[in-house]
Structure 1
Amino acid sequence: MSKKAKIILIIIGVFFIAALIWFGKKNSKSIIQYETEKPFKTTILKKTVATGKVTPLEEIEIKPQITGIIDKIFLLEGAKVVKGDLIATVRVVPNEQSLISAKGRVDNIKIILDNAKIVLDRNKNLFERGVISKQEFENIELNYNQTLQDLKNAQNDYQIIKSGSSGAAGAANTNVYAQMTGTILEIPVKEGDQVIQSNNFNAGTTIASIADMNKMIFEGKVDESEVGKLINGSEIEVSIGAIEGKKFPAKLNFIAPKGTEEAGAVQFKIKADVSLDESYFIRAGYSANADIVLEKKENVLAIKEALLRFDPKTEEPYVEIKKADGSFEKRMLKLGTSDGVNVQILEGIKENNEIKVWNKTTKDDEKEAQK
């Protein structure tokens, strides 16, 4: 072999060895280089949201004292009233049969009374002449007085059936007054509607509902998995759908002892006193949400939940910690409270540890991995 051929072979061999060394180094390099994050101290709040509405604390329904027809309505919905203000009047429409029966009873007692008067006058003369005893006369006089009282009662009954009341109380029964100071929320009847009074078999017709709009409460529901963490007297924040960007402070004052099943889940009713702002007018029935703090951990060691992984066999959480040589070590964790973004770390890592950020690479690594 010539000298020139030997030189060519040597050069080819050198290039071959260099290529092997280059490929070896390239293969030994990790395709993906992971970023890292460190644990941090923070405050973790675990909240729940209760959906519901705001309603007046005090609300009453005004019902008529007699059965009849709405004759006149003097106020409109939304009007502010003081206790005793006249809202409406009711015109009595008597039952004809009851009216005739009551009139017949009055006439019958008048006949009896006239006869009792004749008997009384006749026996009075006999008593004055000493023909009958005082006891016998007093019995006759008592019968007359009882018949006279029966006539008054029958006349009152007749007047009540005819006009709804007897004497001076007539206007009181046919007039419908406000029973509290507040705002008229609703008048569900109109002039000419028939109304009935409350009795043992019927709740009666509501003529108006009145509420104090200066005292509002939040009524909502929470799931059974969270109700056990609620505490009476806790401070909450109420957001009203109709008022954007404003939260009203409230204090929890009622947690239902019994739940109701809705769509397969047991819900418990809660109530809270809402502190109003005079700059806003809150209407009854506004839909609202309440932010309730279930658990609060201040200045605790935490990491982002996105850094967590779970062992496929034990399902225990872990992260990978960067070691001095650049490789990563698996660390099992004990977790605390989570707010859905950050989670409290009880055991497993320290504040100066560097935690692998999963599925994140540099641009250079991505380009190199695509080659």
Structure 2
Amino acid sequence: MKILKYLLIAFIVLGGLYAAVYFMKSNSKSPITYETETAFTTSIEDKTVATGKVVPEEEVEVKPQVTGIIDKIFVEEGDEIKTGDLIAKIKVVPNEQALNAARGRVNNANINLGNAKLDYDRNKALFDKGVISAQDFQNIQLRYDQAKQELRNAQNDLQIIRQGSTGGAQAITNIRASVSGTILEIPVEEGDQVIQSNNFNDGTTVATIADMKKMIFEGKVDESEVGKLKVDMPLSVSLGAIQDKEFDAKLKFIAPKGNEEQGAVQFKIEGDVYLDEDFFVRAGYSANASIVLEKKDSIMAIKEALLQFDKETEKPYVEIAIGEQEFERRDIEIGISDGINVEVISGITKEDKIKVWNKTEPKKKGEDEEEEEASN
């Protein structure tokens, strides 16, 4: 009986051990086999991209010098014009307050002239008789001449307010181009009222003119990169409207003050764009400018995905193979990066085999279905 009892206990223990081993094997995943890569020689460019647009270097707004109504427009948007070309004609509409003041000035000038003439005629007779001296008569004649000049000035001012100029009989004034270039915009139409440009008002823009052969790139860069920029750095500008074409440019301006946009400080930059005659670049095209901040040729590099970082010091390191699926940590010093490859200054050699630590293990058959059922 005791033998049977011991045999039964032994059978139960062995069965339990077998079940435990089977359970562990059935639930354990196969170990990951890590691949390795080595360093290589390449060239790396550290670039940044600024978003913006291309615009003419100078845009001139043509404004009227008198207030009135657009009588006729002689150009269209896109026309090439030269300095002095006629853009539009304006029918002058006098300002009632200014017109009334000008009329009052003319009346006052007439009164003063009449009084000066009476004084002149009276004293001229006395001068002819030798009653008054020549010096006194000269003073009286001077006041008379000044009164006549004041009347002419007042009449001219009244005519300018009524007709826009002193030269013509019709109340029409011409608007002419102040520079040569292309008509970008005509924001008014025939019949629209326009306001003159003066010290208190910018006036109504009749046309906008720009030289389309001189274009610049206007964009913004983040504060983390603006310190790396320098005037005269080369740019490569690509336009959204022109595919598979890049235009060379040169950085000419970096704003000394940034503006906060959506929580980040952005600095304005400008660059001269060298146009290609085979392509017509319109004002306002959206553009991206690629700027090479730093470039190194023939340097040792590794893929940036191979890097690991210490949780405490945040210093970079890699794992080097020292045996079959055995690795050790190796601290390294890194340089510039382009987001794909990173320069290795020291810490490893080209012969070292670097662990591909972030390689994911392929899922077993049926695991996707099990995870989907678990999530549901």
TM-score bin (small chain): 0.7 to 0.9
> Could you list the per-position Cα deviations for residues 20-48 of structure 1 after superposition, in whole angstroms to 9, with x for gaps in the alignment?
xxxxxx9xxx9443222110011111111
The TM-score normalised by the length of structure 1 is: 0.83
Aligned residue in 1 for 2:310: 311
Q: Which amino acid aligns with 2:297?
A: E
Aligned equivalents of 2:51 and 2:282: distance in 1?
Answer: 17
Change (3 A) 1:170 1:351: farther
Q: Which amino acid aligns with 2:48?
A: T
CA drift of 1:121 comes to 3.5
Change (3 A) 1:256 1:360: closer
SS at match of 2:135: helix
Aligned residue in 2 for 1:262: 261
Aligned residue in 1 for 2:73: 73
Aligned residue in 2 for 1:245: 244
Moved more, 149-158 or 324-333: 324-333
Aligned residue in 2 for 1:194: 193
CA drift of 1:264 comes to 0.8
Aligned residue in 2 for 1:129: 129
Matches for 1:30-69 after TM superposition, within 5 Å: 31-69=31-69
> Could you list the per-position Cα deviations for residues 297-331 of structure 1 after superposition, in whole angstroms to 9, with x for gaps in the alignment?
21111111121223344433222222355632322
Moved more, 99-108 or 229-238: 99-108
Change (3 A) 1:95 1:203: closer
Aligned equivalents of 1:111 and 1:310: distance in 2?
Answer: 95
Aligned residue in 2 for 1:89: 89
SS at match of 2:208: strand
Aligned equivalents of 1:124 and 1:117: distance in 2?
Answer: 10
Aligned residue in 1 for 2:281: 282
Aligned equivalents of 2:327 and 2:115: distance in 1?
Answer: 119
Aligned equivalents of 1:361 and 1:191: distance in 2?
Answer: 70
Change (3 A) 1:282 1:146: same
Change (3 A) 1:33 1:170: same
Aligned equivalents of 1:362 and 1:263: distance in 2?
Answer: 40
CA drift of 1:97 comes to 4.7
CA drift of 1:117 comes to 3.2
Aligned equivalents of 2:327 and 2:104: distance in 1?
Answer: 106
| 2:120 aligned with 1:120 | yes
Aligned equivalents of 1:102 and 1:358: distance in 2?
Answer: 89
> Could you list the per-position Cα deviations for residues 277-302 of structure 1 after superposition, in whole angstroms to 9, with x for gaps in the alignment?
01111111111011111121211111
Change (3 A) 1:285 1:131: same
Moved more, 116-125 or 209-218: 116-125
> Could you list the per-position Cα deviations for residues 262-282 of structure 1 after superposition, in whole angstroms to 9, with x for gaps in the alignment?
111110000000000011111
> Could you list the per-position Cα deviations for residues 332-364 of structure 1 after superposition, in whole angstroms to 9, with x for gaps in the alignment?
22211111111111121101111122355999x
SS at match of 2:144: helix
SS at match of 2:279: coil
Matches for 1:164-243 after TM superposition, within 5 Å: 164-167=164-167, 174-243=173-242
> Could you list the per-position Cα deviations for residues 85-104 of structure 1 after superposition, in whole angstroms to 9, with x for gaps in the alignment?
11011111113454344334
Contact 2:34 2:325 in 1 (8 A): no
Contact 1:252 1:272 in 2 (8 A): yes
SS at match of 1:136: helix
Change (3 A) 1:235 1:133: same
Aligned equivalents of 2:174 and 2:206: distance in 1?
Answer: 11
Aligned equivalents of 1:246 and 1:82: distance in 2?
Answer: 31
Q: Which amino acid aligns with 2:242?
A: I
SS at match of 2:243: coil
Q: Which amino acid aligns with 2:318?
A: V
Aligned residue in 1 for 2:320: 321
Aligned equivalents of 1:95 and 1:287: distance in 2?
Answer: 44
Change (3 A) 1:237 1:165: same
| 2:334 aligned with 1:357 | no
Change (3 A) 1:163 1:190: same
- When the two chains are superposed, the root-mean-square deviation of aligned CA atoms in Å is 2.7
Contact 2:254 2:270 in 1 (8 A): yes
Structure 1 stretches of 5 or more lacking a match? 1-25
Aligned equivalents of 1:105 and 1:254: distance in 2?
Answer: 52
Change (3 A) 1:268 1:169: farther
CA drift of 1:116 comes to 3.5
Aligned equivalents of 1:91 and 1:122: distance in 2?
Answer: 47
Aligned residue in 1 for 2:9: none
Moved more, 49-58 or 191-200: 191-200
How many positions carry a matched residue from both structures? Answer: 338
Aligned residue in 1 for 2:110: 110
Q: Which amino acid aligns with 1:210?
A: I
Q: Which amino acid aligns with 2:294?
A: E
Q: Which amino acid aligns with 1:74?
A: F
Moved more, 305-314 or 99-108: 99-108
Contact 1:319 1:355 in 2 (8 A): yes
Contact 1:34 1:359 in 2 (8 A): no
Aligned equivalents of 1:184 and 1:201: distance in 2?
Answer: 27
SS at match of 2:242: coil
Q: Which amino acid aligns with 1:332?
A: D
Aligned residue in 1 for 2:373: none
Contact 1:69 1:194 in 2 (8 A): yes
The TM-score normalised by the length of structure 2 is: 0.82
Structure 2 stretches of 5 or more lacking a match? 1-24, 366-376
